[in-house]
Amino acid sequence: MTGTLVLAGTPIGDTADAPPRLATELAGADIVAAEDTRRLRRLTQALEVQPRGRIVSYFEGNETARTPELVEALVGGARVLLVTDAGMPSVSDPGYRLVAAAVKQDIKVTAVPGPSAVLTALALSGLPVDRFCFEGFLPRKAGERLGRLREVAGERRTLVYFEAPHRLDDTLAAMAEAFGGDRRAAVCRELTKTYEEVRRGPLAELAAWAAEGVRGEITVVVEGAPEVTEELDAGELVRRVQVREEAGERRKEAIAAVAADAGLPKREVFDAVVAAKNAARQSPRGA
């Protein structure tokens, strides 16, 4: 019989939040694959549990190489426990490759539910939580980051991001540019830890606050785009794109910005621009 892969959620701050099953799995697993073995050691000491199985590292740098080894152990009947530094494996952490490989081999995959920075931040944000989407980490390069944000500027669902503290001010400033400085957001810092802080306000205000420097683990929650009541015909959409282009924006960026402002899919604005361009070509000169 094949073994079982267990994905275990670990505390995002306070070790008292560890689910009771985590200690049981740590003690009984044949192999514990940990993102950081030193942090695992501190966790097991806090939980007063001694793993009996083999402990191996499993992080971004060795995921690809170590996955076949762990799958082989699973095929052989081992119970493999996967833990990351904080939260649930696979969610912006190592795990996806191993889960996909295990599923391909018809190996049972189960989970020990645990703390989640995404859900904790959502609950504390004060923003709508009935519909949301998780965007993970944004690109580090400024141009790519702004482009990614413009892609979702018209998204109606609440958005959740992870960010490094030293990039927070630039990210919030880019969000204010892409979404509008008045868009509501919450910066959740050091969740469940001693210096937990949730700062709520408009993006422009939060960007100014972050410019002074922020420390700790950061989760950013941003309000979704407001419902647009203004109805714009194709001609007006094209005109707004042209205005932005004349101001120096590239067409792709202008289309994304107009779509976000109008609460429309980018494709709809793109199609309007293409149709107008084709019509201009077919129109007789001087007409």
Taking the C-alpha atoms of residue 120 and residue 249, their distance in angstroms, rounded to an integer, is: 38
User: Are 53 and 141 contained in the same domain?
Assistant: no
The helix/strand/coil state of 186 is strand
Confidence at 45, pLDDT banded by 50, 70, 90: very high
- Shared domain for 8 and 78, answered yes or no, is yes
Q: What is the pLDDT of residues 150-163, one digit of tens each?
A: 999 889 999 999 99
- Residues 163 and 90 reside in one and the same domain: no
Q: Is residue 157 part of a domain?
A: yes
171 neighbors 185 (Cβ within 8 angstroms): no
Same domain, 274 and 183: no
Q: Rounded mean pLDDT of 36-41?
A: 96
Report the CATH number that the domain containing residue 136 is assigned in CATH: 3.30.950.10
Say whether both 211 and 277 belong to one domain: no
The order of strands in the sheet holding 79-83 is 54-57, 31-34, 79-83, 4-8, 108-112
Shared domain check, 99 and 56: yes
User: Where residue 61 sits, what CATH number does that domain have?
Assistant: 3.40.1010.10
Task: Provide the pLDDT for residue 247.
Answer: 85
Query: Is the per-residue pLDDT at 286 higher than 90?
Result: no
Give yes or no: residues 87 and 20 share one domain: yes
> Does residue 204 sit in helix, strand or coil?
helix
**Domain finish residue from 74, 99, 115:** 115
User: Which residues span the domain enclosing 247?
Assistant: 234-282
pLDDT tens-digit map of 226-251:
876 556 788 889 999 998 888 888 89
**Which residue among 115, 136, 169 closes a domain?**
115
**Total domains, the chain:** 3
- In a shared domain, residues 139 and 159: yes
Per residue in 114-167, pLDDT (tens digit) is 999 999 999 999 999 999 999 999 999 999 999 999 999 889 999 999 999 999
Residue 6's closest CA among 49, 61, 50, 70? Answer: 70
91 & 186 share domain: no
Q: Are residues 138 and 59 in the same domain?
A: no
Residue 284 reports pLDDT greater than 70? no
Residue 228 lies in a domain: no
H-helix or E-strand spanning residue 5: strand 4-8
Percent of the chain with pLDDT over 90: 79
Does 229 fall in a domain? no
